[in-house]
Structure 1
Amino acid sequence: MQLMAIDPEEQLATRAAWLYFVAGLTQAQIGKKLGLNRTRVNRLLAQARDHGLVQINITGRLASCVELEERLRQHYGLDDAVVVPTPPDQDLIPQVIATAAAAALSSRLKDGMSVGVGWGRTLRLSIQSVPRRQLSHLSVVSLLGGLTRGSAMNPHETASHLADLVGAQCYYVAAPALTDTESTRDVLAAQPMLREIFEKGAKVDLAFLSVGELTASCTMTRVGLVSRAEVDDLIRAGAVGDICAHWIDREGRIVDHPLNKRVVALSPERLPDIPCVMIASGGRTKVEALRGVLKGGMCDVIITDEQTAKSILAMDKT
């Protein structure tokens, strides 16, 4: 199944047209929202009309995505939202979201920034699509410990790959993501080196994260961090997924479970203090976790797919 190609120009024209003809914004307001000058906005609106995107209604195939972006922004108080069409093959959702997330991340990277990075398949695919360029005085901080065995989704690999692409200095958490006991975690957390890294992580300008689902075949079980018996126990405790390796419930609260006391990672409770938290994730199994993150105020920019966005919004109607 081939990926559905997303034309950035078509997407921008559709977004501008929806804001102008449906949301009723002025060209100046649209320019401010999209970071464009009025001349560029005017040309996009003309392009939308010329290409038949605007008749009585907006007919572009991304129009429904643009509407969902606006609804997500308004309902959850987000700075931005990017919604891409859901591909027919659910297995392709991470790649489709990753392409959009790479563009969103690249547009925000500036000289002198510090960027915190999580882990997961979607983030790994996203960073593979980030164009290589040299930035000055940029640092990348891994926000959680690593895996004890090799994996393409290892947090260390994700952070180091991004740092290499933009010529940044990289900081790692020199500890496992999950310790064997709470006391081991406490000993590691008390080490000056780790305290320094987590302080850097809490002070980044931008955090680039994903969420994990809670199923018998989730990433945590595949890499050996959590057993299937522990998955069942987490579900009974009210967990719906994880962010920064911490298990949360559908309202975004960290669940009271022994696993959360063994995590070596930045606490999600510190995410609201970071100026921009970007979360890229989607798919049926991620809906409850994403809704929890949004309800918990841990996200400023979401990149997801159309069906996931609809499902998230539908949860708050019930």
Structure 2
Amino acid sequence: MANPKRRTTGQISGENVVITVAWMYYQDGMNQKDIADRLGISRATVVNYLQEARERGYIRITLNAPAFTTHRVSLALCQKFGLQGAYVVPDEGCDAEARFMRVVHGAADWLPTLLQPGDRLGLAWGRTVYEMAELVEEQQIDDLTVLQLVGSMATPYGFTAEACSTRLAQRLGARCLNLHAPAVISSVTLARELRAEPIIAAQLEQLETVNKFLFSVGTCDAESHIVVSGLASLDDLAWHQAQGAIGVLCGRFIDAEGRAIAGPMSERMIGVPIDRLVGLDMGILITPGVDKLAATQAAIRGGYVTHLVAGLGVAEALLAV
């Protein structure tokens, strides 16, 4: 006798079959073989439909944050550095790129749980921030504003400051306030005049209202984004290194205590003064690799960090110093 529950995909058309397979697998708890038998299709087809469901955004797969924020290493980081929270991602056996993507994905999963309606989230720039924005699940957080903290730059990369803020705002259904000025001006006088322009002055004034801050720190070497993007020359880098620069935060060089290093370049920058980013409701730092260890320590000492996202290797290195 034929199975009365058996259906064929001829009876389920278009995207309905994708939704049906996804429901049977994730909601009904059926395995792939049982779904294939029920619908009269191959197991490989079931796998393809499940992949299509994920690509179309029908499925959201997340792990609960407490799994990453309440284990021993996370709690030890909070205790040692006075953090409010630490999200530590397992990274054993991963190469550098896999470690990077795990940490970025963890940050994308955690970020929405840290935001509330009415927040004004300041955003730094760089590959880490951009990739995280790409991975955040599309959702709506009411009355959320995302603000670009550093002016624009011409770079060979897609992760400019305005691309980072615009993309994250789109993913979270937020209002986006971009900064319509170059990040670095050719002269101190011109930078001063540009800051006084009414439209730029109004945008800079908005940055004073930021209550949460998301960022990654940069390194102080010739491969740093601040150099490769053209914001700083090798001469600028050498000058700041001689002054004790250990990292880069929102386009500004910082020393080992997290203090901004004042100099000719800083006077030509258009963006938030980084001392405005100390003592906010939240400072969420994403550190995807041990190459940023010294810069991360500096950011923590400087008071910019309340929440940290990192891989286990970075976390254990921080605890060891």
Answer whether TM exceeds 0.5 for this pair.
Answer: yes
Among candidates 76, 84, 91, match of residue 81 of structure 2: 76
Asked if 1:163 is matched to 2:161, the reply is no
Q: Is the CA contact 1:242–1:248 (under 8 Å) kept in the aligned structure 2?
A: yes
Q: Is the CA contact 1:94–1:125 (under 8 Å) kept in the aligned structure 2?
A: no
Among candidates 67, 91, 95, match of residue 86 of structure 1: 91
Q: Is the CA contact 1:97–1:122 (under 8 Å) kept in the aligned structure 2?
A: no
| Corresponding position of 1:67 | 72
Deviations 1:264-310 (A, max 9, x none): 12122111242111111231221111100100111111111222223
Asked if 1:263 is matched to 2:293, the reply is no
Q: Secondary structure at the match of 1:212?
A: coil
| Map 1:13-162 → 2, pairs under 5 A | 13=67, 66-86=71-91, 88-149=94-155, 151-162=157-168
Asked if 1:226 is matched to 2:281, the reply is no
Among candidates 192, 205, 208, match of residue 186 of structure 1: 192
Deviations 1:218-273 (A, max 9, x none): 11122122222332222121101111111001111112332222221212211124
Deviations 1:178-211 (A, max 9, x none): 1112222222222232232233223223211111
Moved more, 201-210 or 239-248: 201-210
Larger radius of gyration: 2
Label 1:163 to 1:229 Cα distance change in 2 as closer, same or farther (>3 A): same
| Corresponding position of 1:8 | 63
Moved more, 179-188 or 238-247: 179-188
- Paired residues, what number? 260
Label 1:143 to 1:202 Cα distance change in 2 as closer, same or farther (>3 A): same
Letter in 2 for 1:308: V
Q: Is the CA contact 1:140–1:169 (under 8 Å) kept in the aligned structure 2?
A: yes
Letter in 1 for 2:73: L
> TM-score w.r.t. structure 1 length?
0.75
Label 1:150 to 1:89 Cα distance change in 2 as closer, same or farther (>3 A): closer
Task: State how far apart, in whole Å, the 2-side matches of 1:220 and 1:230 are.
Answer: 10
Task: State how far apart, in whole Å, the 1-side matches of 2:68 and 2:252 are.
Answer: 37
Deviations 1:72-102 (A, max 9, x none): 2112211111121235312333311111111
Task: State how far apart, in whole Å, the 1-side matches of 2:100 and 2:269 are.
Answer: 25
Q: Is the CA contact 1:174–1:194 (under 8 Å) kept in the aligned structure 2?
A: yes
Letter in 1 for 2:82: G
Task: State how far apart, in whole Å, the 2-side matches of 1:155 and 1:243 are.
Answer: 13
Letter in 1 for 2:139: R
Task: State how far apart, in whole Å, the 1-side matches of 2:238 and 2:140 are.
Answer: 46
Task: State how far apart, in whole Å, the 1-side matches of 2:145 and 2:253 are.
Answer: 27
Asked if 1:239 is matched to 2:245, the reply is yes
Q: Secondary structure at the match of 2:152?
A: coil
Label 1:15 to 1:180 Cα distance change in 2 as closer, same or farther (>3 A): closer
Q: Is the CA contact 1:145–1:264 (under 8 Å) kept in the aligned structure 2?
A: yes
Task: State how far apart, in whole Å, the 2-side matches of 1:90 and 1:144 are.
Answer: 27
Task: State how far apart, in whole Å, the 2-side matches of 1:94 and 1:267 are.
Answer: 28
Task: State how far apart, in whole Å, the 1-side matches of 2:67 and 2:253 are.
Answer: 39
Identity %: 26
User: Which blocks of at least 5 consecutive residues in structure 2 are unaligned?
Assistant: 1-60
User: Which blocks of at least 5 consecutive residues in structure 1 are unaligned?
Assistant: 1-5, 17-65
Q: Is the CA contact 1:140–1:163 (under 8 Å) kept in the aligned structure 2?
A: yes
Deviations 1:26-52 (A, max 9, x none): xxxxxxxxxxxxxxxxxxxxxxxxxxx
Deviation at 1:104, TM superposition (A): 1.4
Q: Secondary structure at the match of 2:163?
A: helix
Deviation at 1:124, TM superposition (A): 0.7
| Corresponding position of 1:203 | 209
Asked if 1:275 is matched to 2:281, the reply is yes
> TM-score w.r.t. structure 2 length?
0.75
Q: Is the CA contact 2:62–2:109 (under 8 Å) kept in the aligned structure 1?
A: no
Letter in 1 for 2:165: A
Q: Is the CA contact 1:144–1:264 (under 8 Å) kept in the aligned structure 2?
A: yes
Task: State how far apart, in whole Å, the 1-side matches of 2:113 and 2:316 are.
Answer: 26
